[in-house]
Amino acid sequence: MLISEFARAAGLTPDTVRFYVRRGLLTPLAGRKGGSNPYQVFTDEHVQIARMIRMGQSLGFSLREIVALNVEYQARRMTASRGAEILRGQLARLEEKAAHVEAMMRYIRAKLAWLETGGKGPEPNFTDYERLSRVIGMEPRARLRQGRRRA
């Protein structure tokens, strides 16, 4: 399939597909048409790869990390223990981010309550909520380090 059909099948825009190709995330086949600049041809396997890229992004992996993981996978170096290690690290990062988002939400709720009561009492200070998120956010990393020591 050509780029427009592939983009529809993968749920991407053609510009995103071109970006993924430039970054080395997708390697289309060279078609027979197009003269000195042959058309890029994509397969159903490319659709699956694109879906995996999107899933990786939704799990919080950067495109650079996805490329590195794909290289490792293609070289058949991705063992179950390596996969678990990667997922544990990503889970720790997501838990830390969730703690930060939770702190921001607590601050916004407190600020809204303060505003809705006409500014009575001390104004909520984001620094207090941010400090709390750092304390909470450290917990997943500490658990990850403890898990590594046990292994």
Residue 71: predicted pLDDT: 85
The stretch 60-64 carries a mean pLDDT of 92
The label of the residue with tokens 């720790």 reads 92
Model pLDDT, residue 31: 75
Cβ proximity of 20 and 53 under 8 Å = yes
Phi, psi of 128 (to 5 degrees): -65, -40
What's the whole-number average pLDDT of the chain? 85
- HSE, side-chain direction, 13 A CA sphere, residue 132: 12
Confidence of residue 87 (pLDDT cuts 50, 70, 90): very high
- Lowest-pLDDT range of 30-34, 69-73, 140-144: 140-144
Q: Predicted confidence band at 34 (pLDDT cuts at 50, 70, 90)?
A: low
Q: How far is CA 36 from CA 31, 32, 111, in A?
A: 11, 10, 62
Average pLDDT over residues 55-82: 90
Domain 3-74 has CATH 3.40.50.2000: no
> How large is the average pLDDT for residues 55-59?
91
Distance separating alpha carbons of residues 96 and 103, to the nearest angstrom? 11
- Of the pLDDT bands very low, low, confident and very high (cuts 50, 70, 90), residue 135 is low
Residue 68 pLDDT > 70: yes
- Distance between CA 72 and CA 56 in Å, rounded? 15
Task: Quote the CA–CA distance of 83 and 73 in Å, as a whole number.
Answer: 10
Mean pLDDT across the stretch 43-57? 93
